[in-house]
Amino acid sequence: MLGTCLENVREKSPLVHSITNYVTVNDVANAILAAGASPIMADEPSDATEITAICSALNINIGTLNSRTVEAMFSAGKRASELGHALLLDPVGAGASTLRTQTALKLMREIRFDVIRGNASEIKTLALGSGTTHGVDADKADAVSDSNLAFMAGFVRNFARSTGAVIALTGAIDLVADGETCYAIRNGRPEMGRITGTGCMLSGIMAAFVAANPGNVLEACAASVCVMGLAGEIGYSHLQAHEGNSSYRNRIIDAIYNMTAETLEGGAKYEVLR
């Protein structure tokens, strides 16, 4: 049950280490707190490995790379893998530059990830070894739609099978798959794309869900995607006429904070494809 996954996060309150981008770091921390987990951020190489050892999960987000953070990602990632912690890669902007693409591909080669979460263009880039993207946003040509849903579900299942990770491809229709099963999730609002960091927040939440639900990675990831999308719907419904994307961001975080298992079970919109 998706609601049980949320309850486990609230009960266990896993400590999540995020090496994430400085554009959204505060929002990621607040979203993790709202979900019921605890955030910590460390991206200095001499600090990151030690910090990740005391956590239950590591969320690696390549949104604002530099030589120092790249070093921290590899050292912390290898330590988290040694300890069997939940590991998530968010390949922000893979396909937009050589540095981003090659860093993400090298991370995948050298570190065991439980989850890889990105938009359609980012996931395609990693699966194919190269690609293009519209900055940090997906190209419209890569979007999942009803017309290509069966094909894209097969694509993410195959990529999951080849990597051994759950693949979470997020967009208008979200796909969350392991090698056999794919959740097609239809929660969310298009206005969420007007807020910087909703994907980054989701990655932080997703890492917490995986840490709190060991042995149930696929359903934990699907539950976190539904939480984020449903929070977008609830937050949008509470907006006042004079409010815009800044208020919307806060209302999404508030909706995550107030989410219950019953609300999640009642509002989650998904189908399971095999």
Neighbours of 164 (CB within 10 A): 11
Average pLDDT in the 256-264 region?
Answer: 98
Neighbours of 241 (CB within 10 A): 4
Domain CATH code at residue 258: 3.40.1190.20
Handedness of CA 153, 157, 163, 165 (dihedral sign): positive
pLDDT band at 1 (very low <50, low <70, confident <90, very high): confident
**Res 138 pLDDT > 80:** no
Whole-number Å distance between alpha carbons of 65 and 61:
9
pTM for the model: 0.95
Neighbours of 200 (CB within 10 A): 25
Range of the domain at 257: 2-273
Average pLDDT in the 53-75 region?
Answer: 97
Q: Over the chain, what is the mean pLDDT?
A: 95
Q: How many domains does the chain have?
A: 1
Average pLDDT in the 240-265 region?
Answer: 97
251 vs 132, which has greater pLDDT?
251
